[in-house]
Each structure stands twice: as C-alpha cells, then as structure tokens.
C-alpha cells in the first residue's frame, strides 16, 4: 500500500514515525515550509526524519495548490494520511487514493468538531477526551469514523500533555487499523456531525484572562492556552503579562481582596509564584513574563491584574 502523508505539527510527526516503524511504504510527505509556519502552534519540521527514512519531502505553502494536486496525482497513492494539516484538503485530492484518505481529530467525534479541539475541551472543563481516526470528506470532521480511543484529562494536564496523549493514542490506532484499511475490512461508524457545533479557530488575542471568573475556570483557561500555544495574558496598568503556568486547589486560602489582586508572593526574584484573588477563590500562577519575554520584576503584594 503506497501512502502519501500530509502534516506539519508534532502529533503528525509521531504518527509518521509509527507508519515507518510498521514498515508501510510512504512515497512522499507534504509538509508546511518553515517560512509559512509563523502562526502554526506546535509546528515541527518533518524533513530531517523523512529524509533519513528515504522519503521524498515537499515543503509547501498550501497542499491544495494545483502543483501539489498534480504531484499527488502523479504519485498515485493507495492511501493518504492527514495528521496536523493547517487547512482542509480539497475534494480533488481526497478523490485520488483508492483506499481513501484517513485523518485524525483530537476529540471523540462528533464532539468538539472544528478548530483547537484540545484547547476547547480543557477550557470547557472536560475530564475526558480522545482521538478519532476517520475517513476524510469535504466537510470538516464529518467523515465516517474508523476507530476512537479515549483518555482522561487530569487537573494537572495542559494542552501540551493532552496532545501528547492524543499522539500516543493516534499511533496505537494506526498500528491497529492500517492493515484493515488496506484489506477493506474496516467497520465504518456514521459520524453524526450535526449533533455538535463546529468550534472556531482560537486567535492569540482571545487569550485575555477574566479574573472575575471562578479560580477553576481561570486555571482551565491558562493550561489550555499555554505553550506551544500563544498563551493566556493579562494587564497591570499599561503592561501586558503572559502567564504560562497555574496551580489549582479547592482549598480556599485567601481573605479579602479584589479579583485580580496579588495577595501573596513566594520564590526567588527570577522564579516567583503569585497567589491571586479570583471571582471565587484564588489561584497560584507562575512562569509570568512581560510581553517582550523577560521575567517580571515589578509585581508584588497589592499589584492588581485587569
């Protein structure tokens, strides 16, 4: 079975490694060129691994460009695997492989269809999510389901650790189902895609923290948007701060204060943690930096975020 692989982010590279490890024939990899990846969170250069594995690499801007469609048609793959592509793949490409085009989505479809499924799941306080392997069709995340694997979202998980779980689960599904796809023995499950909304893309400017919210809501917000994503941010006066880490406890530690007010500071000057009053309870935050990336120096008890 001759395979074309399309992807540009970490989970995609892990899946490509699994396909090669299982000794499937990957004829070519189409991946986003680094110069076009500025806004792609979690971008990884596939070239070093692919070249070492003897796989032809096409560094592209848009897989749907006619020249790339022509390249794929010339390769004439039996199967296309998409994992971590930043745009919907055109029907013109989907129609090329005889065994279909297989994609992955980091949710238990049809739930959390659309963009940023892991981020949205954490923001919404989900305690379970998963990965879906499905046949691609022109509509986003709407094709027949091949298989799914679920796993928990722990209170200490971040978007990075949940995507790590997704990658591991995706590799397991590839290992277990590529032979069935080749043999045509997959039992398809209808994807009732209109049951849930199509979630929108998140933008960097969407990350501002609302300190009037419950402390658990704020904790979910911070850990959903942390690295490799653009990050949760806040202001104190005219200065903008990014907050990359938080710690939630149901124990209520603080007394009077206004939402966003720092009520306790611990740690060294270059590695401080701040206890901040919220609309309900409080939250420890750390790895706080200025907008320019420098560690903070001016925050103290009584400082207030807005």
Write out pLDDT tens, residues 130-187.
Answer: 999 999 999 999 999 999 999 999 999 999 999 999 999 999 999 999 999 999 999 9
Cis omega (within 30 of 0) on the bond before 110? yes
Closest CA to 148 of 122, 91, 186: 186
| Angle at CA of residue 222, ends 296 and 305, nearest 5° | 50
Taking 80 as the threshold, does the pLDDT of residue 270 lie above it? no
pLDDT of residue 195: 85
Per-chain mean pLDDT for the chain: 94
Give residue for tokens 């591991």. 168
pLDDT at 252: 65
Give the model confidence (pLDDT) of 79-126 as tens digits.
999 998 878 999 999 999 999 999 999 999 999 999 999 999 999 999
Q: How far apart are CA 244 and CA 52, in angstroms?
A: 35
| Least-confidence region, from 49-58, 104-113, 193-202, 247-256 | 247-256
| pLDDT on residue 214 | 94
Taking the C-alpha atoms of residue 238 and residue 115, their distance in angstroms, rounded to an integer, is: 32
- What is residue 255's predicted lDDT score, i.e. its pLDDT? 66
Element spanning 161, H or E: helix 159-183
Residue closest to 63 by CA, chosen among 40, 47, 95, 86: 86
Q: Whole-angstrom Cα distance, residue 164 to residue 156?
A: 14
Whether residue 286 is predicted with pLDDT greater than 80 in this model: the reply is: yes
Strand-pairing partners, residue 242, are 233, 289
Confidence of residue 223 (pLDDT cuts 50, 70, 90): very high
From CA 247, how far away is CA 272, in angstroms rounded? 13
Burial (Cβ within 10 Å: 0-12, 13-18, ≥19) of residue 251: exposed
Strands 25-32 and 128-135: unpaired
Q: State residue 64's pLDDT score.
A: 97
Check pLDDT > 90 for residue 5. Answer: yes
Evaluate if residue 67 carries a pLDDT over 80: yes
């Amino acid at each position: 079975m001759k395979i074309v692989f399309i992807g540009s982010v970490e989970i995609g590279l892990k899946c490509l490694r699994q396909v090669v490890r299982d000794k499937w024939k990957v004829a070519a990899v189409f991946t986003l060129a680094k110069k076009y990846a500025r806004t792609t969170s979690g971008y990884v250069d596939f070239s070093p691994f692919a070249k070492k594995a003897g796989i032809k690499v096409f560094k592209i801007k848009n897989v749907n460009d006619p020249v790339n469609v022509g390249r794929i048609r010339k390769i004439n793959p039996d199967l296309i695997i998409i994992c971590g592509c930043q745009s919907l793949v055109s029907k013109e490409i989907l129609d090329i492989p005889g065994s279909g085009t297989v994609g992955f989505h980091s949710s238990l479809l049809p739930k959390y269809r659309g963009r940023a499924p892991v981020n949205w799941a954490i923001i919404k306080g989900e305690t379970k999510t998963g990965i879906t392997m499905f046949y691609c069709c022109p509509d986003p995340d709407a094709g027949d389901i091949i298989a799914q694997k679920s796993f928990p979202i722990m209170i200490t998980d971040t978007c990075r650790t949940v995507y790590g779980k997704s990658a591991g689960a995706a590799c397991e599904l590839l290992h277990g189902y590529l032979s069935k796809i080749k043999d045509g023995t997959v039992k398809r499950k209808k994807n009732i895609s209109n049951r849930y909304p199509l979630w929108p893309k998140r933008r960097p400017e969407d990350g501002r923290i609302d300190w009037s919210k419950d402390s658990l809501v704020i904790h979910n917000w911070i850990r959903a948007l942390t690295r490799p994503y653009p990050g949760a941010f806040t202001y104190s006066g005219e200065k903008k701060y990014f907050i990359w880490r938080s710690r939630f406890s149901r124990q209520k530690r603080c007394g009077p204060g206004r939402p966003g007010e720092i009520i306790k500071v611990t740690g060294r000057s270059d590695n401080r943690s701040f206890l901040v009053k919220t609309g309900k309870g409080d939250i420890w935050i750390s790895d706080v930096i200025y907008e320019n990336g420098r560690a903070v120096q001016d925050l103290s008890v009584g400082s207030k975020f807005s």
